[in-house]
Structure 1
Amino acid sequence: MDLMSSPLMQTLPTLVAILCYLIAASLQWQTVKGHSINRHLVRLAGLTAIIAHGYAVYLELHHPEGIQLGFFSTGSLIGWLVATLVLLSSLRQKIDNLFVGIFPLAAITLLFSLIGVDANTARHYDSGLVIHILLSILAYSIFTLAAFQAVLLAKQDYQLKHHMTKGLLRSLPPLQTMEALLFEMIWTGLILLTLSLASGALVFDDLFAQHLVHKTVLSILAWLLYATLLIGRHFLGWRSHKAIRWTVGGFIVLMLSFFGSKFVVELLM
Protein backbone atom coordinates (compact mmCIF):
# COMPACT_ATOMS: atom_id res chain seq x y z
CA MET A 1 0.00 0.00 0.00
CA ASP A 2 1.22 3.52 -0.86
CA LEU A 3 2.05 5.23 2.44
CA MET A 4 0.74 8.63 1.30
CA SER A 5 -2.63 7.14 0.32
CA SER A 6 -3.03 5.15 3.54
CA PRO A 7 -5.98 6.05 5.80
CA LEU A 8 -3.59 7.27 8.51
CA MET A 9 -1.80 9.72 6.21
CA GLN A 10 -5.15 11.02 4.96
CA THR A 11 -6.51 11.46 8.49
CA LEU A 12 -3.37 12.93 10.09
CA PRO A 13 -3.52 16.41 8.45
CA THR A 14 -7.19 16.68 9.44
CA LEU A 15 -6.42 15.92 13.09
CA VAL A 16 -3.43 18.30 13.09
CA ALA A 17 -5.56 21.08 11.61
CA ILE A 18 -8.39 20.58 14.12
CA LEU A 19 -5.95 20.64 17.04
CA CYS A 20 -4.14 23.76 15.82
CA TYR A 21 -7.40 25.58 15.08
CA LEU A 22 -8.60 24.93 18.63
CA ILE A 23 -5.25 25.99 20.11
CA ALA A 24 -5.28 29.25 18.12
CA ALA A 25 -8.91 29.98 19.07
CA SER A 26 -8.22 29.23 22.75
CA LEU A 27 -5.19 31.52 22.80
CA GLN A 28 -7.14 34.31 21.13
CA TRP A 29 -9.96 33.85 23.64
CA GLN A 30 -7.45 34.50 26.40
CA THR A 31 -6.63 37.78 24.66
CA VAL A 32 -10.32 38.69 24.55
CA LYS A 33 -10.51 38.08 28.30
CA GLY A 34 -7.67 40.55 28.81
CA HIS A 35 -4.69 38.21 29.20
CA SER A 36 -1.43 39.00 27.44
CA ILE A 37 -0.81 36.39 24.72
CA ASN A 38 1.88 36.50 22.05
CA ARG A 39 0.05 37.48 18.85
CA HIS A 40 2.62 35.70 16.69
CA LEU A 41 2.01 32.44 18.56
CA VAL A 42 -1.71 32.64 17.79
CA ARG A 43 -1.02 33.27 14.12
CA LEU A 44 1.56 30.49 13.95
CA ALA A 45 -1.00 28.01 15.30
CA GLY A 46 -3.56 29.37 12.84
CA LEU A 47 -1.15 29.17 9.92
CA THR A 48 -0.21 25.59 10.79
CA ALA A 49 -3.90 24.69 10.93
CA ILE A 50 -4.57 26.31 7.55
CA ILE A 51 -1.66 24.51 5.86
CA ALA A 52 -2.77 21.14 7.27
CA HIS A 53 -6.40 21.92 6.41
CA GLY A 54 -5.44 22.85 2.86
CA TYR A 55 -3.67 19.53 2.38
CA ALA A 56 -6.65 17.67 3.88
CA VAL A 57 -8.99 19.47 1.45
CA TYR A 58 -6.73 18.52 -1.45
CA LEU A 59 -6.94 14.86 -0.44
CA GLU A 60 -10.73 15.11 -0.04
CA LEU A 61 -11.37 16.73 -3.41
CA HIS A 62 -8.88 15.04 -5.73
CA HIS A 63 -9.54 11.49 -6.86
CA PRO A 64 -8.43 9.48 -9.91
CA GLU A 65 -11.99 9.78 -11.24
CA GLY A 66 -11.97 13.59 -10.94
CA ILE A 67 -13.00 16.16 -8.32
CA GLN A 68 -15.39 15.22 -5.52
CA LEU A 69 -17.63 18.15 -4.53
CA GLY A 70 -19.97 16.58 -2.01
CA PHE A 71 -21.73 18.26 0.91
CA PHE A 72 -19.00 17.63 3.50
CA SER A 73 -15.97 18.17 1.24
CA THR A 74 -17.40 21.46 -0.05
CA GLY A 75 -18.10 22.56 3.52
CA SER A 76 -14.50 21.79 4.45
CA LEU A 77 -13.23 23.75 1.43
CA ILE A 78 -15.30 26.78 2.44
CA GLY A 79 -14.11 26.46 6.05
CA TRP A 80 -10.51 26.49 4.80
CA LEU A 81 -11.09 29.53 2.58
CA VAL A 82 -12.80 31.51 5.36
CA ALA A 83 -10.00 30.68 7.83
CA THR A 84 -7.39 31.69 5.24
CA LEU A 85 -9.20 34.95 4.47
CA VAL A 86 -9.52 35.96 8.12
CA LEU A 87 -5.85 35.20 8.81
CA LEU A 88 -4.72 37.23 5.79
CA SER A 89 -7.10 40.08 6.65
CA SER A 90 -5.72 40.18 10.20
CA LEU A 91 -2.34 41.21 8.78
CA ARG A 92 -3.74 44.63 7.79
CA GLN A 93 -6.79 44.98 10.05
CA LYS A 94 -7.14 44.39 13.78
CA ILE A 95 -9.70 41.58 13.48
CA ASP A 96 -7.82 38.81 15.30
CA ASN A 97 -10.83 38.28 17.58
CA LEU A 98 -12.67 36.75 14.63
CA PHE A 99 -10.34 33.78 15.15
CA VAL A 100 -12.45 32.83 18.18
CA GLY A 101 -15.44 32.07 15.96
CA ILE A 102 -13.90 31.28 12.57
CA PHE A 103 -11.25 28.75 13.62
CA PRO A 104 -13.62 26.47 15.59
CA LEU A 105 -16.05 26.66 12.65
CA ALA A 106 -13.28 25.52 10.30
CA ALA A 107 -12.45 22.71 12.73
CA ILE A 108 -16.10 21.61 12.72
CA THR A 109 -16.19 21.47 8.90
CA LEU A 110 -13.08 19.28 9.04
CA LEU A 111 -14.61 17.00 11.65
CA PHE A 112 -17.75 16.55 9.55
CA SER A 113 -15.66 15.82 6.46
CA LEU A 114 -13.80 13.18 8.47
CA ILE A 115 -16.83 11.34 9.84
CA GLY A 116 -19.38 12.13 7.12
CA VAL A 117 -19.84 10.23 3.89
CA ASP A 118 -20.47 12.25 0.72
CA ALA A 119 -23.04 10.77 -1.65
CA ASN A 120 -21.75 12.83 -4.57
CA THR A 121 -19.29 10.94 -6.79
CA ALA A 122 -16.06 12.35 -8.17
CA ARG A 123 -16.10 13.50 -11.79
CA HIS A 124 -14.30 15.74 -14.23
CA TYR A 125 -15.68 19.27 -14.77
CA ASP A 126 -15.27 21.50 -17.81
CA SER A 127 -13.39 24.78 -17.36
CA GLY A 128 -16.50 27.00 -17.47
CA LEU A 129 -18.18 25.07 -14.69
CA VAL A 130 -14.99 25.09 -12.60
CA ILE A 131 -14.84 28.90 -12.86
CA HIS A 132 -18.52 29.16 -11.84
CA ILE A 133 -17.99 26.84 -8.86
CA LEU A 134 -14.87 28.71 -7.70
CA LEU A 135 -16.61 32.10 -7.94
CA SER A 136 -19.58 30.74 -5.97
CA ILE A 137 -17.38 29.30 -3.24
CA LEU A 138 -15.30 32.49 -2.99
CA ALA A 139 -18.44 34.64 -2.75
CA TYR A 140 -19.92 32.42 -0.05
CA SER A 141 -16.64 32.46 1.88
CA ILE A 142 -16.48 36.27 1.82
CA PHE A 143 -20.09 36.57 2.98
CA THR A 144 -19.45 34.04 5.76
CA LEU A 145 -16.61 36.24 6.98
CA ALA A 146 -18.88 39.30 6.67
CA ALA A 147 -21.54 37.58 8.80
CA PHE A 148 -19.02 36.96 11.58
CA GLN A 149 -17.83 40.55 11.25
CA ALA A 150 -21.45 41.72 11.60
CA VAL A 151 -21.89 39.68 14.79
CA LEU A 152 -18.67 41.15 16.19
CA LEU A 153 -19.88 44.63 15.21
CA ALA A 154 -23.18 44.01 17.03
CA LYS A 155 -21.31 42.99 20.17
CA GLN A 156 -19.08 46.06 19.94
CA ASP A 157 -22.06 48.38 19.46
CA TYR A 158 -23.81 46.83 22.48
CA GLN A 159 -20.75 47.26 24.69
CA LEU A 160 -20.31 50.88 23.63
CA LYS A 161 -23.93 51.71 24.44
CA HIS A 162 -23.66 50.04 27.84
CA HIS A 163 -20.28 51.63 28.63
CA MET A 164 -18.50 48.27 28.83
CA THR A 165 -14.94 49.33 28.09
CA LYS A 166 -13.09 46.14 29.01
CA GLY A 167 -12.51 42.81 27.30
CA LEU A 168 -13.61 42.59 23.67
CA LEU A 169 -14.19 46.31 23.13
CA ARG A 170 -10.69 47.22 24.23
CA SER A 171 -9.11 44.93 21.63
CA LEU A 172 -11.16 46.12 18.63
CA PRO A 173 -10.64 49.03 16.22
CA PRO A 174 -13.08 51.99 16.38
CA LEU A 175 -16.70 51.27 15.40
CA GLN A 176 -16.36 53.27 12.17
CA THR A 177 -13.37 51.16 11.13
CA MET A 178 -15.28 47.96 11.87
CA GLU A 179 -18.22 49.20 9.79
CA ALA A 180 -15.95 50.18 6.91
CA LEU A 181 -14.36 46.73 6.95
CA LEU A 182 -17.80 45.08 6.93
CA PHE A 183 -18.91 47.03 3.87
CA GLU A 184 -15.59 46.31 2.17
CA MET A 185 -16.31 42.59 2.62
CA ILE A 186 -19.87 43.01 1.32
CA TRP A 187 -18.70 44.89 -1.78
CA THR A 188 -16.15 42.17 -2.51
CA GLY A 189 -18.68 39.40 -1.92
CA LEU A 190 -21.32 41.08 -4.09
CA ILE A 191 -18.90 41.46 -7.00
CA LEU A 192 -17.99 37.77 -6.74
CA LEU A 193 -21.66 36.76 -6.43
CA THR A 194 -22.49 38.85 -9.51
CA LEU A 195 -19.73 37.11 -11.47
CA SER A 196 -20.97 33.75 -10.17
CA LEU A 197 -24.52 34.41 -11.38
CA ALA A 198 -23.25 35.70 -14.73
CA SER A 199 -20.99 32.68 -15.25
CA GLY A 200 -23.88 30.39 -14.27
CA ALA A 201 -26.04 31.97 -16.96
CA LEU A 202 -23.32 31.17 -19.51
CA VAL A 203 -22.61 27.63 -18.29
CA PHE A 204 -26.20 26.38 -17.84
CA ASP A 205 -28.82 26.41 -20.58
CA ASP A 206 -31.61 27.19 -18.10
CA LEU A 207 -30.83 28.58 -14.64
CA PHE A 208 -34.46 27.99 -13.68
CA ALA A 209 -34.50 24.30 -14.54
CA GLN A 210 -35.98 22.10 -11.82
CA HIS A 211 -32.63 21.05 -10.33
CA LEU A 212 -31.32 24.66 -10.31
CA VAL A 213 -34.35 26.85 -9.56
CA HIS A 214 -33.97 26.62 -5.75
CA LYS A 215 -30.33 27.69 -5.88
CA THR A 216 -30.92 30.38 -8.52
CA VAL A 217 -33.88 32.07 -6.82
CA LEU A 218 -32.22 32.16 -3.40
CA SER A 219 -28.91 33.40 -4.86
CA ILE A 220 -30.72 36.24 -6.65
CA LEU A 221 -32.62 37.06 -3.44
CA ALA A 222 -29.34 37.19 -1.51
CA TRP A 223 -27.87 39.42 -4.23
CA LEU A 224 -30.85 41.79 -3.91
CA LEU A 225 -30.50 41.92 -0.11
CA TYR A 226 -26.80 42.79 -0.25
CA ALA A 227 -27.30 45.27 -3.10
CA THR A 228 -30.11 46.97 -1.15
CA LEU A 229 -27.84 47.24 1.87
CA LEU A 230 -25.09 48.91 -0.17
CA ILE A 231 -27.60 51.31 -1.77
CA GLY A 232 -29.01 52.12 1.67
CA ARG A 233 -25.50 52.73 2.97
CA HIS A 234 -24.63 55.08 0.10
CA PHE A 235 -27.86 57.08 -0.20
CA LEU A 236 -29.49 56.77 3.22
CA GLY A 237 -26.46 56.45 5.47
CA TRP A 238 -27.45 53.07 6.91
CA ARG A 239 -25.13 52.11 9.72
CA SER A 240 -24.53 49.41 12.28
CA HIS A 241 -28.02 48.12 13.17
CA LYS A 242 -29.39 47.92 9.63
CA ALA A 243 -26.03 46.71 8.31
CA ILE A 244 -25.95 43.87 10.83
CA ARG A 245 -29.52 42.72 10.13
CA TRP A 246 -29.21 42.84 6.35
CA THR A 247 -25.80 41.17 6.36
CA VAL A 248 -26.92 38.26 8.52
CA GLY A 249 -30.21 37.97 6.60
CA GLY A 250 -28.39 37.82 3.27
CA PHE A 251 -26.00 35.22 4.64
CA ILE A 252 -28.84 32.97 5.82
CA VAL A 253 -30.50 33.14 2.38
CA LEU A 254 -27.19 32.43 0.65
CA MET A 255 -26.48 29.53 3.02
CA LEU A 256 -29.85 27.99 2.11
CA SER A 257 -29.02 28.48 -1.55
CA PHE A 258 -25.56 26.99 -1.30
CA PHE A 259 -26.11 24.11 1.10
CA GLY A 260 -29.89 23.61 1.16
CA SER A 261 -30.20 21.66 -2.08
CA LYS A 262 -26.98 19.74 -1.41
CA PHE A 263 -28.24 18.71 2.02
CA VAL A 264 -31.61 17.54 0.71
CA VAL A 265 -30.31 15.74 -2.39
CA GLU A 266 -27.19 14.13 -0.90
CA LEU A 267 -28.21 13.40 2.69
CA LEU A 268 -32.00 13.13 2.82
CA MET A 269 -32.91 11.57 -0.52
Structure 2
Amino acid sequence: MQALPLAIMALILYLGAASWQGLTLLRRVPQRPALVRVLGLLGLLFHLPVAFKLIDQSPGLMPGLSTAAVVLTAIMVILLLAVSLAKPVLSVAVGLFPVSGVALLLAVGLPSPERTGGMTPGIALHAMSSALAFGVLFIAACQAMLLWLQNRALRHHHTRGVVQVLPPLTTMERVLFELIWAGMALLTLSIVSGFLFVDSMFAQHLAHKTILSLAAWVIFAILLISHHVLGWRGKRAVHWTLGGYSVLLLAYFGSKFVLEIILSRT
Protein backbone atom coordinates (compact mmCIF):
# COMPACT_ATOMS: atom_id res chain seq x y z
CA MET A 1 0.00 0.00 0.00
CA GLN A 2 1.22 3.52 -0.83
CA ALA A 3 2.63 5.58 2.02
CA LEU A 4 0.56 8.73 1.34
CA PRO A 5 -2.88 7.22 2.11
CA LEU A 6 -1.46 5.72 5.30
CA ALA A 7 -0.05 9.10 6.32
CA ILE A 8 -3.34 10.87 5.62
CA MET A 9 -5.34 8.33 7.64
CA ALA A 10 -2.88 8.58 10.54
CA LEU A 11 -3.09 12.38 10.47
CA ILE A 12 -6.91 12.33 10.53
CA LEU A 13 -7.03 9.93 13.46
CA TYR A 14 -4.32 11.78 15.38
CA LEU A 15 -6.12 15.10 14.87
CA GLY A 16 -9.38 13.54 16.05
CA ALA A 17 -7.76 12.25 19.25
CA ALA A 18 -5.90 15.52 19.90
CA SER A 19 -9.02 17.60 19.26
CA TRP A 20 -11.11 15.63 21.73
CA GLN A 21 -8.43 15.84 24.41
CA GLY A 22 -8.00 19.56 23.73
CA LEU A 23 -11.73 20.16 24.07
CA THR A 24 -11.62 18.13 27.28
CA LEU A 25 -9.00 20.50 28.69
CA LEU A 26 -11.27 23.41 27.77
CA ARG A 27 -14.19 21.59 29.43
CA ARG A 28 -16.22 21.65 26.22
CA VAL A 29 -16.68 17.87 26.12
CA PRO A 30 -16.60 15.14 28.82
CA GLN A 31 -13.39 13.23 29.47
CA ARG A 32 -13.10 10.16 27.25
CA PRO A 33 -9.57 8.79 27.75
CA ALA A 34 -10.50 5.46 26.16
CA LEU A 35 -11.66 7.24 23.01
CA VAL A 36 -8.45 9.29 22.82
CA ARG A 37 -6.33 6.15 23.28
CA VAL A 38 -8.29 4.17 20.65
CA LEU A 39 -8.02 6.96 18.06
CA GLY A 40 -4.33 7.36 18.87
CA LEU A 41 -3.76 3.62 18.59
CA LEU A 42 -5.54 3.49 15.23
CA GLY A 43 -3.41 6.39 14.04
CA LEU A 44 -0.33 4.51 15.21
CA LEU A 45 -1.39 1.44 13.20
CA PHE A 46 -1.27 3.58 10.05
CA HIS A 47 1.91 5.31 11.24
CA LEU A 48 4.02 2.21 11.86
CA PRO A 49 4.06 0.77 8.30
CA VAL A 50 5.47 4.04 6.99
CA ALA A 51 8.06 4.10 9.78
CA PHE A 52 9.12 0.51 9.03
CA LYS A 53 9.41 1.31 5.33
CA LEU A 54 11.66 4.29 6.03
CA ILE A 55 13.78 2.27 8.44
CA ASP A 56 14.21 -0.42 5.79
CA GLN A 57 15.34 2.18 3.28
CA SER A 58 17.76 3.84 5.69
CA PRO A 59 18.71 1.57 8.59
CA GLY A 60 22.05 3.20 9.35
CA LEU A 61 23.16 4.95 12.51
CA MET A 62 22.34 8.42 11.19
CA PRO A 63 19.03 8.27 9.30
CA GLY A 64 17.75 11.31 7.45
CA LEU A 65 15.72 14.05 9.09
CA SER A 66 12.34 12.81 7.82
CA THR A 67 13.06 9.20 8.80
CA ALA A 68 14.25 10.20 12.27
CA ALA A 69 11.15 12.37 12.82
CA VAL A 70 8.74 9.60 11.76
CA VAL A 71 10.43 6.90 13.82
CA LEU A 72 10.83 9.06 16.93
CA THR A 73 7.23 10.29 16.84
CA ALA A 74 6.01 6.69 16.49
CA ILE A 75 8.04 5.72 19.56
CA MET A 76 6.72 8.74 21.47
CA VAL A 77 3.11 7.85 20.63
CA ILE A 78 3.70 4.28 21.84
CA LEU A 79 5.28 5.57 25.06
CA LEU A 80 2.49 8.06 25.67
CA LEU A 81 -0.26 5.48 25.15
CA ALA A 82 1.52 3.03 27.45
CA VAL A 83 2.44 5.51 30.19
CA SER A 84 -1.04 7.06 30.15
CA LEU A 85 -2.47 3.77 31.39
CA ALA A 86 -0.66 4.31 34.69
CA LYS A 87 0.09 8.04 34.86
CA PRO A 88 -2.04 11.13 34.11
CA VAL A 89 -0.13 12.25 31.00
CA LEU A 90 -2.74 11.82 28.27
CA SER A 91 -3.06 15.60 27.82
CA VAL A 92 0.36 15.48 26.12
CA ALA A 93 -1.56 14.03 23.15
CA VAL A 94 -2.83 17.53 22.36
CA GLY A 95 0.65 18.44 21.13
CA LEU A 96 2.19 15.10 20.24
CA PHE A 97 -0.49 13.62 17.99
CA PRO A 98 -0.74 16.54 15.51
CA VAL A 99 3.07 16.82 15.35
CA SER A 100 3.30 13.08 14.64
CA GLY A 101 0.72 13.27 11.86
CA VAL A 102 2.30 16.29 10.20
CA ALA A 103 5.79 14.76 10.42
CA LEU A 104 4.46 11.60 8.79
CA LEU A 105 2.73 13.51 5.99
CA LEU A 106 5.83 15.59 5.28
CA ALA A 107 8.10 12.55 5.31
CA VAL A 108 6.28 10.74 2.50
CA GLY A 109 6.89 13.75 0.25
CA LEU A 110 10.61 14.03 0.97
CA PRO A 111 13.28 11.96 -0.78
CA SER A 112 14.59 9.06 1.27
CA PRO A 113 18.33 8.65 1.81
CA GLU A 114 20.06 5.75 0.13
CA ARG A 115 20.30 2.47 1.95
CA THR A 116 23.39 2.45 4.16
CA GLY A 117 23.50 -1.07 5.58
CA GLY A 118 22.32 -2.71 8.75
CA MET A 119 23.18 -2.06 12.39
CA THR A 120 25.15 -4.21 14.77
CA PRO A 121 23.40 -5.19 18.03
CA GLY A 122 25.46 -2.65 19.98
CA ILE A 123 24.58 0.20 17.68
CA ALA A 124 20.95 -0.96 17.68
CA LEU A 125 20.99 -0.70 21.50
CA HIS A 126 22.42 2.81 21.23
CA ALA A 127 19.83 3.88 18.64
CA MET A 128 16.89 2.39 20.55
CA SER A 129 17.91 3.81 23.93
CA SER A 130 18.46 7.21 22.29
CA ALA A 131 14.98 7.13 20.76
CA LEU A 132 13.35 6.01 24.00
CA ALA A 133 15.20 8.69 26.00
CA PHE A 134 14.07 11.34 23.52
CA GLY A 135 10.48 10.10 23.73
CA VAL A 136 10.26 9.90 27.52
CA LEU A 137 11.88 13.31 27.97
CA PHE A 138 9.51 14.77 25.37
CA ILE A 139 6.60 13.64 27.51
CA ALA A 140 8.38 15.17 30.52
CA ALA A 141 8.78 18.48 28.66
CA CYS A 142 5.07 18.54 27.78
CA GLN A 143 4.25 17.66 31.39
CA ALA A 144 6.41 20.60 32.48
CA MET A 145 4.47 22.95 30.20
CA LEU A 146 1.15 21.73 31.64
CA LEU A 147 2.58 22.16 35.14
CA TRP A 148 3.55 25.73 34.27
CA LEU A 149 0.02 26.47 33.01
CA GLN A 150 -1.44 24.95 36.16
CA ASN A 151 0.90 26.94 38.43
CA ARG A 152 0.12 30.15 36.57
CA ALA A 153 -3.64 29.60 36.75
CA LEU A 154 -3.56 28.86 40.48
CA ARG A 155 -1.36 31.87 41.16
CA HIS A 156 -3.94 34.09 39.47
CA HIS A 157 -6.79 32.29 41.27
CA HIS A 158 -8.18 30.81 38.06
CA THR A 159 -9.73 27.56 39.21
CA ARG A 160 -11.79 26.78 36.12
CA GLY A 161 -10.88 25.36 32.74
CA VAL A 162 -7.60 23.43 32.51
CA VAL A 163 -7.03 23.42 36.27
CA GLN A 164 -10.26 21.49 36.87
CA VAL A 165 -9.29 18.78 34.38
CA LEU A 166 -5.65 18.25 35.31
CA PRO A 167 -4.63 16.16 38.35
CA PRO A 168 -3.56 17.95 41.56
CA LEU A 169 -0.40 20.02 41.38
CA THR A 170 1.56 17.65 43.62
CA THR A 171 0.63 14.70 41.39
CA MET A 172 1.65 16.57 38.23
CA GLU A 173 5.00 17.45 39.79
CA ARG A 174 5.64 13.91 41.03
CA VAL A 175 4.91 12.49 37.56
CA LEU A 176 7.25 15.06 36.01
CA PHE A 177 10.20 13.94 38.09
CA GLU A 178 9.37 10.26 37.57
CA LEU A 179 9.51 10.88 33.82
CA ILE A 180 12.80 12.75 34.11
CA TRP A 181 14.34 9.91 36.15
CA ALA A 182 13.25 7.38 33.53
CA GLY A 183 14.48 9.59 30.70
CA MET A 184 17.82 10.10 32.42
CA ALA A 185 18.31 6.35 32.84
CA LEU A 186 17.67 5.85 29.12
CA LEU A 187 19.85 8.82 28.14
CA THR A 188 22.68 7.44 30.28
CA LEU A 189 22.33 4.06 28.56
CA SER A 190 22.37 5.81 25.19
CA ILE A 191 25.55 7.75 25.96
CA VAL A 192 27.37 4.78 27.50
CA SER A 193 26.40 2.42 24.66
CA GLY A 194 27.48 5.07 22.16
CA PHE A 195 30.97 5.27 23.63
CA LEU A 196 31.15 1.46 23.78
CA PHE A 197 29.83 0.55 20.33
CA VAL A 198 30.21 3.57 18.03
CA ASP A 199 33.65 3.90 16.45
CA SER A 200 34.12 7.57 17.33
CA MET A 201 31.48 9.56 19.19
CA PHE A 202 33.45 12.73 18.44
CA ALA A 203 33.77 12.14 14.70
CA GLN A 204 32.78 15.15 12.58
CA HIS A 205 29.25 13.93 11.84
CA LEU A 206 28.59 12.87 15.47
CA ALA A 207 30.47 15.47 17.55
CA HIS A 208 27.56 17.92 17.81
CA LYS A 209 25.16 15.16 18.89
CA THR A 210 27.60 13.82 21.49
CA ILE A 211 28.44 17.22 23.00
CA LEU A 212 24.82 18.41 23.13
CA SER A 213 23.60 15.07 24.53
CA LEU A 214 26.19 15.29 27.29
CA ALA A 215 25.14 18.89 27.97
CA ALA A 216 21.48 17.82 28.23
CA TRP A 217 22.50 14.99 30.59
CA VAL A 218 24.31 17.49 32.84
CA ILE A 219 21.29 19.83 32.88
CA PHE A 220 18.89 17.06 33.88
CA ALA A 221 21.39 15.72 36.45
CA ILE A 222 21.66 19.16 38.07
CA LEU A 223 17.86 19.41 38.16
CA LEU A 224 17.41 16.00 39.80
CA ILE A 225 20.17 16.55 42.36
CA SER A 226 18.90 20.03 43.20
CA HIS A 227 15.34 18.75 43.52
CA HIS A 228 16.50 16.09 45.96
CA VAL A 229 18.96 18.24 47.93
CA LEU A 230 17.65 21.80 47.61
CA GLY A 231 13.98 21.12 47.01
CA TRP A 232 13.81 22.63 43.52
CA ARG A 233 10.27 22.47 42.17
CA GLY A 234 7.60 24.54 40.45
CA LYS A 235 8.72 27.22 38.02
CA ARG A 236 12.43 26.45 38.41
CA ALA A 237 11.88 22.77 37.66
CA VAL A 238 9.82 23.68 34.59
CA HIS A 239 12.53 25.98 33.22
CA TRP A 240 15.33 23.45 33.71
CA THR A 241 13.25 20.67 32.17
CA LEU A 242 12.44 22.71 29.08
CA GLY A 243 16.03 23.93 28.85
CA GLY A 244 17.43 20.40 29.01
CA TYR A 245 14.98 19.13 26.43
CA SER A 246 15.73 22.04 24.10
CA VAL A 247 19.41 21.08 24.13
CA LEU A 248 18.49 17.45 23.49
CA LEU A 249 16.25 18.52 20.60
CA LEU A 250 19.18 20.36 19.04
CA ALA A 251 21.33 17.29 19.53
CA TYR A 252 18.91 15.05 17.64
CA PHE A 253 17.64 17.37 14.93
CA GLY A 254 19.70 20.57 14.81
CA SER A 255 22.45 19.58 12.40
CA LYS A 256 20.12 17.36 10.37
CA PHE A 257 17.90 20.36 9.69
CA VAL A 258 20.84 22.57 8.71
CA LEU A 259 22.48 19.96 6.47
CA GLU A 260 19.42 18.44 4.83
CA ILE A 261 16.98 21.35 4.64
CA ILE A 262 18.93 24.62 4.76
CA LEU A 263 22.04 23.46 2.91
CA SER A 264 20.15 20.80 0.91
CA ARG A 265 22.70 18.13 1.80
CA THR A 266 22.03 14.44 2.53
TM over 0.5: yes
The alignment's TM-score, normalised by the length of structure 1, stands at 0.91
Query: Is the 8 Å Cα contact of residues 73 and 113 (structure 1) preserved in structure 2?
Result: yes
Instruction: Give 4+ residue runs of structure 1 displaced > 3 Å after superposition.
Output: 65-68, 118-122
Aligned CA-pair RMSD: 1.8
Moved more, 37-46 or 19-28: 37-46
Q: Measure the CA separation in 2 of the matches of 1:227 and 1:92.
A: 25
In the TM superposition, what are the counterparts of 1:230-249 in structure 2 within 5 Å?
A: 230-249=224-243
Q: Identify the residue that residue 259 of structure 1 maps to in structure 2.
A: 253
CA distance in 1, matches of 2:39, 2:167: 23
Task: Provide the rounded CA distance (Å) in 1 between the counterparts of 2:116 and 2:8.
Answer: 24
- The residue that corresponds to 1:185 in the other structure is 179
| Structure-1 separation of matches of 2:48 and 2:115 | 21
Q: 1:46 to 1:66 in 2, by over 3 A?
A: closer
Q: Is the 8 A contact 1:118 1:266 kept in 2?
A: no
| Deviation by residue 1:103-149 (Cα, 9 ceiling, x = unmatched) | 11111211221222244544222221111111111111111111111
Instruction: Name the aligned partner's letter for residue 85 of structure 1.
Output: L
What is the count of residue pairs matched by the alignment? Answer: 261
Q: Could you tell me whether the CA contact under 8 Å between 2:130 and 2:190 is conserved in 1?
A: yes
CA contact (8 A) 1:222 1:254 kept: yes
Number of the residue aligned with 1:89:
83
Question: What secondary structure does 2:232 align onto?
Answer: coil
Q: Deviations over 1:150-171 (max 9, x none)?
A: 1111001111111111111111
Match of 1:40 in 2: 34
Residues in 1 aligned to 2:183 and 2:8: alpha-carbon distance in whole angstroms: 30
Q: Are residues 1:11 and 2:7 paired?
A: no
Aligned 8 A contact 1:70 1:121 in 2: no
Q: Which residue of 1 aligns with 2:99?
A: 105
Question: Which residue of the other structure, out of 13, 16, 31, is the alignment partner of 1:20?
Answer: 13
Residue 139 of structure 2: aligned partner: 145
Quick check: 1:71 aligned with 2:65? yes
Q: Percent identity?
A: 39
Partners of 1:225 and 1:250 within 8 A in 2:
yes
Alignment-mate amino acid for residue 18 of structure 1: L
Say whether the 8 Å CA contact 2:4–2:105 is kept in structure 1: no
Query: 1:75 deviation in Å?
Result: 0.5
Task: Judge which range, 207-216 or 250-259, deviates more.
Answer: 207-216
1:30 to 17, 23, 35: 23
Q: Is the contact made by 1:132 and 1:199 (CA closer than 8 Å) also made in structure 2? A: yes
* SS of alignment partner, residue 136 of structure 2: helix
- 1:194 aligns to 2:188 (yes or no): yes
- What amino acid is aligned across from residue 26 of structure 2 in structure 1? K
Q: State the shift of 1:37 in Å.
A: 4.9
| Alignment equivalent of 1:216, drawn from 191, 210, 219 | 210
- Which shows bigger deviation, 207-216 or 233-242? 207-216
Which residue does 1:115 correspond to in 2?
Answer: 109
Q: Confirm or deny: 8 A CA contact 1:119 1:266 kept in the other structure.
A: no
Equivalent position amino acid for 1:138 in 2: L
CA distance in 1, matches of 2:130, 2:139: 14
Is the 1:69–1:120 contact (alpha carbons within 8 Å) kept by the matching residues of 2?
no
Q: Any idea what the Cα deviations from partners look like across 1:174-194, whole Å, max 9, x if unmatched?
A: 111111111111111111111
CA contact (8 A) 2:63 2:113 kept: no
Q: Note closer, same or farther for the CA distance 1:66–1:210 as it changes in structure 2 (3 Å cut).
A: closer
Distance, in Å, in 2 between the alignment partners of 1:94 and 1:257 is 28
CA distance in 1, matches of 2:33, 2:180: 27
| Conservation of the 8 A alpha-carbon contact between 1:21 and 1:104 | yes
Structure 1: how far apart are the matches of 2:233 and 2:114? 42
Superposed, 1:50-61 pairs within 5 Å as: 50-61=44-55
Q: Work out the CA distance in 1 between the residues paired with 2:258 and 2:92.
A: 30
